[in-house]
Amino acid sequence: MTVLAKTTTELSSESVRSLYDQLVVRLKELNHLQGISGLLAEGVRAEQLSTLAGLTHGVGTSPVLGSILEEFERRQAAQDLSNELNPYELANVRLSRKAYKEGVALPSELVKAAAALSSRSVGAWANARKESNFAKFAPFLEEQIKTIRETVRYQMKAGLCEEARKINEKARATLNLREGDDCYKGYYQALLNEYESGFKEERLQVLFSDLKQNLVPLIAKIKAKNFQHDNSYIKGDWDLEKQTAYSHRISKEIGFDTDAGRLDVSTHPFTGGAHPTDVRMTTRYTVDNLQEGITGTIHETGHSLYEQGRNQEYVDLPVSQALSLGVHESQSLLWERMVGLSKPFWTYALPLLKEQFQEPSHENLQSVTPDQFYNAFNRVEPGFIRIEADEVTYPLHIVLRYEIEKALVEGDITVAEVPGLWNAKMKEYLGMEVTEDRLGCLQDTHWAVGLIGYFPTYTLGSIYAVQIFNAAKEAIPNLDEHLAKGEFHVLKKWLNENIHQQGSLRESGDDLIFNLTGKTLDSSIYVQYLTDKYTKIYDL
Amino acid sequence: MTVLAKTTTELSSESVRSLYDQLVVRLKELNHLQGISGLLAEGVRAEQLSTLAGLTHGVGTSPVLGSILEEFERRQAAQDLSNELNPYELANVRLSRKAYKEGVALPSELVKAAAALSSRSVGAWANARKESNFAKFAPFLEEQIKTIRETVRYQMKAGLCEEARKINEKARATLNLREGDDCYKGYYQALLNEYESGFKEERLQVLFSDLKQNLVPLIAKIKAKNFQHDNSYIKGDWDLEKQTAYSHRISKEIGFDTDAGRLDVSTHPFTGGAHPTDVRMTTRYTVDNLQEGITGTIHETGHSLYEQGRNQEYVDLPVSQALSLGVHESQSLLWERMVGLSKPFWTYALPLLKEQFQEPSHENLQSVTPDQFYNAFNRVEPGFIRIEADEVTYPLHIVLRYEIEKALVEGDITVAEVPGLWNAKMKEYLGMEVTEDRLGCLQDTHWAVGLIGYFPTYTLGSIYAVQIFNAAKEAIPNLDEHLAKGEFHVLKKWLNENIHQQGSLRESGDDLIFNLTGKTLDSSIYVQYLTDKYTKIYDL
C-alpha cells in the first residue's frame, strides 16, 4: 500500500481530468474503509475499532491524497475549473479537501483514543441505564467531554471552524483571559457543524427560543382542554406476524426497494448499510400498541428512500452522501409525519389495516373512520422519553438536550449537575417529574458515543420536513389525492430528484431549501403548521 | 499512522526487551485488523473486503515492522536470545518473521484482487449450487486457480516454501522444461503449508494411501454384513426448543464458558470470534434427527474450548493462535467422536436426554440402553455429503477432494473435468452414484473462497484426535469413569494445558504430538482405532 506521492512538478503537468481520476481512486478506497466500521457485527472490541479508526484516518490524510488536493487548490486559485469538471465533480473536490483538512488537523493517536473511548463508554452507559445510576456513567461522560474539547482545540488551531474561533476570541476578550487560560466558548458551534454543515449556532438559538416560546403555551392549551381523543382501538393485543406483514406492505408501497435492502427487527430501530443497493433498516413492534410499529417503519422507510435514492453515478464519492443529519432526518419525518400522520394517508391505509386485522378481538377497529383514526394517531401527550414523543412535544426534548450539552461542553456546568438540570427543565418545559435517570438523562446513547451537537439536527429535520413538504405540495398537483389513493411514487420521485440525488451538491441544508422554496430554515413555518393542525384536532 | 522506521543504527543500540516491546505493539495492531474481517456482517462488498485486505497487508508488511524484524535477525545470528526472551516471546519473533516474509512476497494488488475474487466467487458458487449447474461456477474456479498459482509463484520467487520449490525444480528437470515454461508441480505442497504448517505432502500421500487401502475394504466389510443398527428412536419429531436446551446443557457441562462466548443457530455451523473472551459458535437442529444437533454442538464446543483456552498472557499475539487447522479440527473431533460417540459419554448423557424428552411420542426412547444408543449413533453409511459423513467414510471424502484439487492446481486436469472425476471417485471409494453436482462437486464452499490445500486438514485432525485422546487416557487415571459421570473438566483441563495454551509454541502439529506421545502423525493408529471399534459394533 506504500504509494509514493508524485512530486508537485509531476502533478502540475497533468490534466485536470487525470488529477480528478486519481482523486476518485483515493476517495473510493477511503469510502470503502469508512463503510466497514458500520458493517462490523456486535462484539467488535474497542482495540479493533481503535486500530481501524487509526488506519482510516491514515488513508484519509495520506500524502498522496494531500498532494492531489493541493494541486487542485493551486489550479482553482489560477482558473475556474467549471469548464473541465461538472458541478458534481467540483463538489467532490470541495468536500474531500474539507475532509482532508479536518483529518490532518487531528493526530492519529487522538482519533484512535476517541474510537476506543466511545466503545468503552457505550458499555458503561448501558449498564448505568439498566441500574438507573448516573454516577456509573459520569466518569465516562467526563472523559468524552475532555476528548471532544481536545478535538475542537486541534480543529481551531488548524484554522478550521472559523465561526467557532471568532466566538471564542470574542469571549476571551470580554472575559479578559490570558493566553493559556481555558475557555470553551464557541466549542458548541464547532461541534454542531460536524453534523449540520454550515449552520450557525446563533440561528439555532433563535429557532429554538421561538419554538420554546410558542410550543410551551400550545402544549398548555391542549392540556387545558382536558380532553383526549379515543385511541382504544389501537391498543390491545396485536399479532406480531400480522403487524410485520402490514408494515412490510406499507413500506414497500411507499417505495422501499426490497431488492436493494431489507427490513428487520431490532430493539433500537435504525437505518444503515454502506451502499444504495444494500440498505438495512430495522423497526420494532409492540404487542399492545399498533402505532409504534407503523410509524417507526414509515420513519425508517423515509431514511431508506434517501439512501436508496442517492446518486448512483457518483456512488462511494462524497457528493453522493447525504447533505447533513438534519436533511436526513427531514426525509424520515416527512414520511412519518407529513404523510403517515395525515388524513389522506389513512384514507388509503385504514382499509388495508382493517383487512389485515379481522380478529373478533379487534372488532372495534372495523367501524373506525379515517378521521377518528387520524385523531387517535395525533394525540399530544407529554412523556419522559424522546423517541416516543409526538411532534408537538418532541422539539422541547431537543431544546432541553441542546441547552444542557452546550453548557457542559462550554464549561458552564459540571457533569454532576446534569441530572438535576435535566429534571428541572423537564418540569419547566413539559411539566414532567423525572423520578429515575433511566427515564431522564440516561435515556439516550448519544453522549456515550461522543455525539455532542447531534441532537439539534432532529428538530432542524422536522422544520426542513415541513418546508420541503410544502414545496412538494406546490410542485405536485393534487398531492393529497395521490396519497389518498396510495400513489406514493409521485412524491417519492419528486424527493428523489430534489433531495436524494442532490446529495451533498449544495453547501448546506439552508442552500438546499432556499433553492427549493425561496426560504431558509424558518421555525415560524413549523410553529404555524403545528398550530393549525392541533387547533383543529383539539378544537382550541 | 505514518510512523517513520527507525534507522538500522538506531535500532541496533536498543535492548532486546525494547525491540520486543516495539514488535508487540505492531503485532497487536495487525491482529486487531485481521480480526475485523471476521466480524464483518453479511453484506460487505467485494470492494470493501479488497480495500481492507490491502490495508491489512500494508500494516503486516510495513517498513517499521520490517526493520524491527531485521534487527532481530541480526541479533539472533550473533547470539542466542533465550536468556533475554522466554520461549513464547521467541515464538512471537519467529512467527511474525515468517508472516512478514510471506506478506512482502506478495504485491498488495494481488492480495486485494484475491479478496475481491473470493467475495464474488462465493456468490457465484451459491447460485451454481442452487441450480446444480457446475458450468456457472467453472469460470470462477478457473480464476481462483490462476490467482492461487500466481500467489505460489511469488512465494517461491521470494525463497519461501523451499520444499515446494525443490519438487518443482525436480519436475522441471525430469520434464526437460525450459526457463519460462509453465510447470505447477510442487504447488500443492506450498498450499498445504498455508493450513498445516511444516507438513510435507509426501507424508500426506502415504497417510492417505494407507487410509484408502484400509478403509475401502473396511466399509465393504460393513456393507457385506447387510445389517444396520436400529436408530428409529432418534428419528421422529423433536421439539426444537428442547433440542436447544439439551445442547446448551451438554455444551456447558463439557466446559464451554457462556460468559466468554455464545452458542447460536445457523445454516452452516461454525466457530468464530476474534478473542478468547468472545467466542461465537453456531449449531443447527434438525426436527427429524436428534443426532445432528447434538454431535454438531459437541463438535463446535471442541473448537470453542480451544479458542477459549488459548493463552491469555500472549493474547492478540501469534504464539497464542491455534497451531494449525489440523490441530484445531483435532479438538472438535476429539470431543465429537472420542467423547460424544463413546459409551461412557452416553452412560452419562442418555438419562439426561430421556429426562428432556418425555413426550408420549418419544416413548421408545425411554427404554433404550446406552449400548443400543451407542450403536445407533455410530452407524456407518456411505453418503454424498461430506459434512454428514460418519468417521469411517469421512476420510474418503477428503482423499477424493485432495486428489482432485491437487490435480487441478498442478495442471493435470482442467476445471471442466472436475465433475466427471468427482463422480468416478465417489463410485470407486464409496460406491455412490452422484446424479447432481449439488450433491457432488458443488457441495463445499472451500474452492469458491480460494481454499485449496485445506481439505486434508480435516483428516489430519481426525488422526491427531485419536493420538491425543490416547495420550489423555494414559495421563488421566480412569478417564472413562470420569466421562461416564459427566466429569468433563479433567479432560478439558488436560487439553487446556497440553494443547490449547501451547498455541503456536511448537513449529508443527507433528512436533506437538511427538512431544506429547513420542510419535508423529500415524495413520495406522487411526486405522486401528476404526477397525477395533467397528469390528465390535458390526460384529465383523
Q: Element (H or E) spanning B37, and its range?
A: helix B16-39
The pLDDT tens digits for B356-375 are 999 999 999 999 999 999 99
* B51 neighbourhood in chain A, CB within 8 Å: 29, 32-33, 36
Q: Is residue A331 located within the same domain as residue A459?
A: yes
Which member of A300, A329, A391, A410 is catalytic? A300
Measured between CA atoms, the residue of chain B closest to residue A48 is B32
Cβ <8 Å between A36 and B52 = yes
Q: Is residue A266 located within the same domain as residue A402?
A: yes
Beta strands A278-283 and B261-265 are: unpaired
The answer to whether position A168 is within a domain reads no
Coarse DSSP helix, strand, coil percentages of chain A, rounded to the nearest 5 percent: 70, 5, 30
The dihedral sign for the CA sequence B403, B409, B411, B417: positive
Cβ <8 Å between A32 and B40 = no
User: How many Å apart are CA B285 and CA B247, to the nearest integer?
Assistant: 9
The dihedral sign for the CA sequence A470, A476, A477, A482: negative
Residue pair B294/B340 in contact (Cβ under 8 Å)? The answer is yes
* A51 neighbourhood in chain B, CB within 8 Å: 29, 32-33, 36
Q: Is residue A136 located within the same domain as residue A226?
A: no
The pLDDT value recorded for residue B42 is: 62
Cross-strand pairs, B275? B278
Residue pair B266/B251 in contact (Cβ under 8 Å)? The answer is no
Residue pair B465/B517 in contact (Cβ under 8 Å)? The answer is no
The answer to whether position B109 is within a domain reads yes
The pLDDT tens digits for A7-23 are 778 888 899 999 999 99
Cβ <8 Å between B108 and A1 = yes
The answer to whether position B104 is within a domain reads yes
Helix boundaries (H) for A319-455: 325-333, 343-356, 370-377, 394-409, 418-430, 446-449
User: How many Å apart are CA B441 and CA B436, to the nearest integer?
Assistant: 9
To the query of whether residue A300 is one of the catalytic residues in this protein, the response is: yes
A1, A41, A55 member nearest B33 (Cβ):
A55
The pLDDT value recorded for residue A272 is: 82
Task: Record the pTM.
Answer: 0.79
Taking the C-alpha atoms of B500, B505, B508 and B512 in order, what is their torsion angle to the nearest 10 degrees? -60
Q: Out of A177-181, A216-220, A372-376, B322-326, pick the least confident.
A: A177-181
Q: Is residue A256 located within the same domain as residue A402?
A: yes
Q: Is residue A361 located within the same domain as residue A410?
A: yes
* A32 neighbourhood in chain B, CB within 8 Å: 45, 47-48, 50-52
The pLDDT value recorded for residue A50 is: 87
Domain closes at, from A107, A131, A160: A160
Cβ <8 Å between A29 and B51 = yes
The pLDDT value recorded for residue A10 is: 84
The pLDDT value recorded for residue B2 is: 39
Nearest to B51 by CA among B66, B64, B39, B33: B33
Q: How many domains does chain B have?
A: 1
The pLDDT value recorded for residue A127 is: 94
User: How many Å apart are CA A55 and CA A58, to the nearest integer?
Assistant: 5
Which member of B300, B307, B336, B403 is catalytic? B300
The answer to whether position A213 is within a domain reads yes
Residue pair B112/B525 in contact (Cβ under 8 Å)? The answer is no
The answer to whether position A455 is within a domain reads yes
Q: Out of A496-500, B11-15, B430-434, pick the least confident.
A: B11-15
Q: Out of A194-203, B264-273, B520-529, pick the least confident.
A: B264-273
What CATH number does residue A288 fall under? 1.10.1370.30
Sheet holding A278-283: strands in order across? Answer: A261-265, A278-283, A271-275
Q: Is residue A148 located within the same domain as residue A257?
A: no
ipTM of the complex: 0.72
The answer to whether position B32 is within a domain reads yes
Domain of residue A151 covers 8-160
What average pLDDT does range A189-218 have in this prediction? 96
Burial B251-262, CB ≥16 within 10 A → b, else e: bebbbbeeeebe
Q: Is residue A29 located within the same domain as residue A77?
A: yes
The answer to whether position A172 is within a domain reads no
The answer to whether position A174 is within a domain reads no
Q: Out of A299-303, A315-319, B482-486, pick the least confident.
A: A315-319
A3 pLDDT above the threshold of 50: no
Q: If pLDDT is split at 50, 70 and 90, which confidence band does A43 have?
A: low
Q: Is residue A229 located within the same domain as residue A136?
A: no
Q: Is residue A81 located within the same domain as residue A222?
A: no
What average pLDDT does range B399-420 have in this prediction? 98
Q: Is residue A323 located within the same domain as residue A418?
A: yes
A35, A45, A278 member nearest B275 (Cβ):
A45
Q: Is residue A103 located within the same domain as residue A148?
A: yes
* A275 neighbourhood in chain B, CB within 8 Å: 45
Q: Is residue A338 located within the same domain as residue A424?
A: yes
The pLDDT value recorded for residue B1 is: 35
